[in-house]
A and B are shown apart, each in its own frame.
Chain A
Amino acid sequence: MRELKLMKGNEAIAEAAVRYGVDGYFGYPITPQSEVMETLMAMRPWETTGMVILQAESEVASINMLYGGAGSGKRVMTSSSSPGISLMQEGISYIAGAELPCVIVNVVRGGPGLGTIQPSQSDYFQAVKGGGHGDYKLIVLAPSSVQEMADFVGLAFDLAFKYRNPAMILSDGVIGQMMEKVEFDEYKPRWTREEIIAKNPWAATGKPSSRERNIITSLHLQAVDQEKQNIKLQAKYKEIQEKEVRYETYLCDDAEYLIVAFGSSARISKKSVEIAREKGVKVGLLRPITLFPFPYKEIGAYTDQVKGILTVEMNAGQMVEDVKLAVEGRVKVEHYGRMGGMISSPDEVENALKELIIGG
């Protein structure tokens, strides 16, 4: 039976992690996501499921604890917010290079620098285009409700282990801090030692005489070997792009104009669609749920149908570049966004649609 609770997005992440049978959480406090570790510590899961929770000395340390933990084949996660995620980029690159599964939650706040503690979506590029050094991709999920904060913990782990790749939940301060009702699955047991070894034969769990030693590394000193690894990674990313695109549409069937928005911007834009429709303008909303893989093909398919596309983001215009790549110049694409922690109202978005797309 599903259990109904009223809680913040950050708390939902914690609750979902324990219920999903996650083995370890390593983190460092930062606003606006500190409730994740606070909730976990209050839940004392080490007494129930056996989940390990540890407050690290920095985000540099927590991502590297995650790196070590992920190498053991267990389900490990961390959460942070923008400046902390910047500090983690070194570790994320190593984890991607070593092809380890893990989950990283970014409850984005406005930047650059120390910025603000208010919500933002200005880490889109960092999340989907690499962030750290080298050619790599994260699987990036963008929740737009507290329910999705909870549901995407399990989804992120499933995808991370399916592809041996780090997955990121790219949320923002709105979703992290707002309270909504959320339904939870029943508790799942953590994997047993035998299950871990069977599912993850690559894990460094101690070398029995029956196999060669397992070495978790991202180091390939010879260029020819490194290129081989790069080719393997790129093939994996291509497969993820082909198989794992997730998105949602709202009133798109007869739409003459399209709004593309993710996360909390998509929630605001949904209302803008309704306002515009009341005035007789046929607008639809396409909400990418996976930001990598991005729904290029799915957005591109609308170029025969719509006269223009507006992207709505809480940043200076980042996802808009991917939308432009998707439509390949066939229709007009404009961006509307607020920055620095400011949030657009549905009326503002509807106005922007009129000014930038319909009237422009």
Chain B
Amino acid sequence: MIDIKDIVKPENLVFKKSRILTDNPMHYCPGCSHGVVHNLIAEIIEEMDIQDNVIGVAPVGCSVLAYNYIDIDWHEAAHGRAPALATGIKRLMPEKFVFTYQGDGDLAAIGTAETIHACNRGENITIVFINNGIYGMTGGQMAPTTLEGMVASTCPSGREHTRDGYPIKITELLAQLPGTCYVTRQAVHTAGSVRKTKKALRKAFENQTRNRGTSIVEVVSTCNSGWKMSPVKANDWMVENMFPFYPLGDLKDE
């Protein structure tokens, strides 16, 4: 019989977790996109060799505990205020890489003013924006990016624009601002899309050395718990419903 010890050998290693990712078990639900994006950020920090030179700003939302998983210095923001914190940090330490990690409620509802004005000033930071169209942490309420007709606990019969307003394409809006230099929308539901997102994130981080303005990477994501779907079904639903409204690709690359 083959023993596990015979398989786990250095010569058989084809993949390992980044050393920048801590050993803390992640609290995210199975199927959630956060873990994949965390891993990509950790890999980029390792590959760029900037662990001692990067400060992350964590949001309020499911990724409020992002600082438990990526082994760098972190600053936990109030809900929506991450771009303002990042502004303060980057202005005082322009030599550091500074990024925010925000969900849709954080970035596109309560933090709209901070997001728009940080981008409009062209703050030399990277914004990672997880858009899953729902409030995951508080239990599945309507988000600013919830699609019309999509069910959430505060729009149980589906979002209706006459009552709830329209889903906001905040990323398109940010691409209009002269302060942004790179605005892209990606996903992490397939191996190919994960690779593309990693490339986008790497470019968004590297842009900070060019001092050209704000870089934004939106990741259209699933929330299978909030959507009440299996991980596989949630991915299919995202492709069918989210992608037509939030199409993937670069919106701006200067």
Contacts and interface: CB of A to CB of B under 8 A. Distances in A.
Say whether A associates with B.
yes
Interface of A: 23-24, 26, 52, 54, 56-58, 60-62, 64-72, 74, 76, 90-91, 94, 98, 204-209, 213-219, 221
Given A68-B85, A71-B75, A205-B73, A24 B91 contact: yes
Contacts of A205: 55, 73, 93, 96
B78 to A, nearest CB: 5
Given A52-B91, A215-B74, A60 B51 contact: no
Nearest to A50: B92
Given A204-B74, A207-B51, A72 B93 contact: yes
A295 B60 CA distance: 39
Given A23-B92, A219-B76, A68 B57 contact: yes
Contact of B92 (A69, A214, A221): A69
Interface stretch (B64-72, B189-197, B242-250): B64-72
B174 interface: no
Contact of A60 (B58, B73, B84, B91): B84
Interface of B: 51-55, 57-58, 64-65, 67, 71-78, 81, 84-89, 91-93, 96, 113-114, 117
B77 A67 contact: yes
Which of B51, B55, B85, B88 has the largest number of chain A CB atoms within 10 A? B88
B75 A216 contact: yes
B78 A91 contact: yes
Contacts of B51: 206-207, 209
A217 B65 CA distance: 10
A219 B58 CA distance: 11
Given A61-B117, A64-B85, A207-B51, A54 B74 contact: no
Nearest to B51: A207
Given A56-B84, A68-B87, A215 B67 contact: yes
Contacts of A219: 64-65, 76
A215 B76 contact: yes
Top 5 A-B residue pairs of the complex, sorted by shortest distance between their CB atoms: A68-B88, A68-B85, A64-B84, A65-B88, A217-B76
30 contacts: A26-B88, A54-B87, A56-B87, A56-B117, A57-B113, A60-B84, A60-B113, A64-B84, A64-B114, A65-B91, A67-B75, A67-B77, A68-B75, A68-B89, A71-B88, A71-B89, A90-B78, A94-B78, A204-B55, A204-B89, A205-B55, A205-B93, A205-B96, A206-B53, A206-B54, A207-B72, A213-B72, A214-B74, A216-B76, A217-B75
Contacts of A213: 67, 71-74
Contacts of A209: 51-52
B90 to A, nearest CB: 8
A52 B85 contact: no
A207 B52 contact: yes
Contacts of B117: 56-57, 61
Q: B75, B78, B87: which has the most chain A beta carbons within 10 Å?
A: B75
Contact of B88 (A58, A66, A98, A217): A66
A217 to B, nearest CB: 4
Contacts of A70: 88
Nearest to B64: A219
A206 B76 CA distance: 15
B39 to A, nearest CB: 17
A155 B3 CA distance: 68
Given A64-B84, A213-B67, 7 more contacts: A24-B88, A58-B113, A61-B84, A94-B78, A206-B55, A214-B74, A218-B76
B53 A91 contact: no
Nearest to B67: A215
Contacts of A208: 52
